[in-house]
Chains A and B, each alone.
Chain A
Amino acid sequence: MDRRSFIRKSLTGTLAASSLGALPILDLLALPALAAGAPPLAVRQGRDIPALVRETIAALNGMESFVLPGETVVIKPNIGWDRTADLAANTHPEVVRTLVELCLEAGARRVLLFDRTCNDARRCYTQSGIRAAIDSLGSDRVRLDYMDRRAYQSMVIRGGKAFERWEFYLPALEADRYINVPVAKHHSISRLTMAMKNTMGVIGGNRGRLHHDIAEALADINSVIHSTLTVVDATRILVANGPQGGRLKDVRTTETLIATPDIVAADAFAATLFGLQPDEISSVVAGARRGLGTMDLAQVRRV
């Protein structure tokens, strides 16, 4: 499919969806992700990763409550580094694969995966194991693509505190659903890197400049890219030497998965795995203040 028909179809799709949404009967089926009030947060533990992913998503009423049949879904793992899965620098390939499977089962027409990597993209995609995991699905509805250098667009960030405008990756903006799948890691400046930071993988420009005011910058970009669902891979976490790691001694096995439609709550909870309080992470605080989600874990609905 070319970009033109893609945009046209997504526009008609949105139009159709919004007109359907006007019917009162369909309101009963309204996505829980958009329900007001306390956001649901599912946390599960388990050694068998595919089962763990399925169980966690099932707790949020299944992928069907986030992805509607015929939709285009972006799954955004962290594939930033030329590191193997055991080193916890990238999202675990099995987490990614199972989420893709769930989206396909929910009837997604297309599932797109990509990340703007730090090392050579080809090396990262292969070394992370994500290339092999996606290939093993053998589905032509799934595409793990390298970033297309032509597909960035400069966007105005309304209410941006660190930036007025930045370049964003169009396929991430145009998708019907955006599923954010970070791995929870230590980070030397922002202390931890999780879901809000993972969004940096779909922006263009000189990303190094974001670090000067990392908390507000992350809040800025996440106000443009809305994560329908956030799944934090904490099957193993990088507790030091992040975000790239490289030593097994910095990796702690936590066998945990966190899923929630609230990106700030996801990061807030993930912080506790590192023995930190949500208010110790400046980007979480900035995100909550900017209305991107809830940082007070007492306010979330554990499911």
Chain B
Amino acid sequence: MKASPWLYARKASQTLCLTGFLWLFLQTEYRGVDELPYPVSLLFRIDPLAALADFFAPGSFHWQLLWPSLLVLCLTVIFGRFFCGWVCPLGATLDGCGLLVGRGHRAFAPAWRRVKYLLLIGFSAAALTGVQLLGLFDPLAIFLRSLTLAFYPVYNLGLNEVFDWFYEHPVPLISPVVNQAYPLFRDNLMAFHQPIFSLGLFTLVVFLLILLLERVEHRFWCKNLCPLGALFGLCSRHALLQRTPDHLCADCQVCRAGCRSGAVRAEGHHRSECLLCMDCTGYCPEDRVSFNFKSLSRSGPGVDLQRRGIITSVAAGLLVGPVVKIGPESYRQNPYLIRPPGAVPETEFLQRCVRCGECMKVCIGRAVQPALLEAGPVGLWTPLVVPRIGYCEYNCTLCGQVCPTGAIRRLDLPQKKQVVIGIAVFDKDRCLPFAKGIECLVCEEHCPTGDKAIVFEEKGLLVDGELRRLKLPKVVDRLCIGCGICETKCPVEGVSAIRVINEGESRRERSGLVAGPYG
């Protein structure tokens, strides 16, 4: 293949974007300032699928957050699917890792290209019925979530192993240097606390499956399955940036096999399928290929969606809502379903959340964990607060700052301190003073509210037949916000003696009682 300046430009752009997004990812962490200084969730603010999810969700569209994604759509109308070839970090990863896993060259029937459109249509129809599945297939969400839940924890573990080894086995000359470098790494390039996620392995497997599709066909995901690619495809059918020649040349036909997206076919050049990888500007033996702006009137071959396919996917999508809703409400079924502070009501939350994992990455206390089935059948990868793993830091508002779709509203600190995400409840069969007659203050001591939500009552308690005066902890319902630090820090091993349940959460609609459900 001859070197084409366009090819270098594309590769440079991919590298730059990938590096940029990785850098933003590293900045998605508390580094001493309460307000994150960078727009760390930029990746989703330029994501039209996130905008689509937001559009279908109840409430007004978040222009302020999501206007960049509309800009990307406008650019797509002009340039075609530049995002897929030049920007998308998943695409760049697949291009890069394809070399490692090996690249298949099986030519799939063009009908496979339809699948992504049908998925997009089906998901949109489902979104109309109140079930949002776009996030599960959003390539940007897949990328960031795999990074957050799997790759970053592995990277941290690995680096820590290296640092620890040199710390424990002093090697002359090397160990001092490595030990010196450790704080620098810890404070800039690594997580402060080793990230721990319950779905790490599962997320990794999903990512590897997508990667392995490269063995079947180069960019299989992008060509056949990616709903974001489909959305871009729909917008770029009449793209102004067009390829010359717009047909296969009679004398050559190299493009037929060479085009990675299979966009150059007998009937013409499919702008909806072309990823603008610019490979053909390099491999054309006659140097005939160029991309130029041309008039609007010349439309290329269309998306070959068949009526039957559309009807099937719309119908299937419309059925998703009712089918999913035959189960009980998830917060009733699972009283431990706790959402980060600022989360909108559950139904709307599931429609807004694109499962990107930004809140899980940024959470300072490792409290936010991905759900498997805890939040119902369509709650996969949505954020849960799991207090036994980590608690919600009282003075922190980071998750609301990074959420790109307003599923977790941005709260200022005084507001956040008022938001109730649940309430702590004692298990008196396990709590030391109640169960064993041993005084303990850990929950009371850590309770962060100014007026403490855990207080002591001194009472006489019969312990092994003997009356003892003991300080017994008690939760003050109207003061508890459910941050869960009591559950995290409870010194009782195994199940905590105090647990947060989702009773009384602020986001749930309630009657107009001023004093709460029980006065």
Q: Which residues of A contact B (CB under 8 A)?
A: 1-5, 82, 118-123, 126-127, 131, 145-146, 150, 187-189, 206, 208-209, 211-212, 241, 243-244, 246-247
Contacts and interface: CB of A to CB of B under 8 A. Distances in A.
A138 B348 CA distance: 50
Nearest to B170: A4
Given A123-B364, A244-B446, A208 B167 contact: no
Given A3-B167, A208-B490, A189 B441 contact: yes
B450 A150 contact: no
A222 B471 CA distance: 26
Interface stretch (B218-226, B277-285, B432-440): B432-440
A3 B168 CA distance: 10
Interface residues of B, number: 40
Contact of B456 (A82, A188, A246): A188
Contacts of A4: 170, 175-176
Interface stretch (B13-21, B50-58, B150-158, B393-401): B393-401
B188 to A, nearest CB: 13
Interface in B444-492: 444-452, 456, 471, 489-491
Nearest to A2: B176
28 contacts: A1-B176, A2-B176, A3-B170, A82-B393, A119-B394, A119-B448, A120-B365, A120-B396, A121-B192, A122-B30, A122-B31, A122-B32, A122-B192, A122-B364, A123-B364, A146-B192, A150-B164, A187-B441, A188-B471, A189-B445, A208-B440, A211-B439, A211-B491, A243-B445, A244-B445, A244-B448, A246-B452, A247-B450
Contacts of B393: 82, 119-120, 123
Given A82-B393, A241-B452, A212 B440 contact: yes
A3 B179 contact: yes
Interface of B: 30-32, 164, 167-168, 170, 175-176, 179-180, 183, 186, 192, 364-365, 393-396, 432, 438-442, 444-452, 456, 471, 489-491
Contacts of A2: 170, 175-176, 179-180
A282 to B, nearest CB: 11
Contacts, number: 89
A126 B32 contact: yes
A1, A120, A121 interface centre (most CB from chain B within 10 Å): A120
A123 B394 CA distance: 11
Contacts of A146: 186, 192
A247 B179 CA distance: 41
A127 B395 contact: yes
B364 A189 contact: no
Nearest to B31: A122
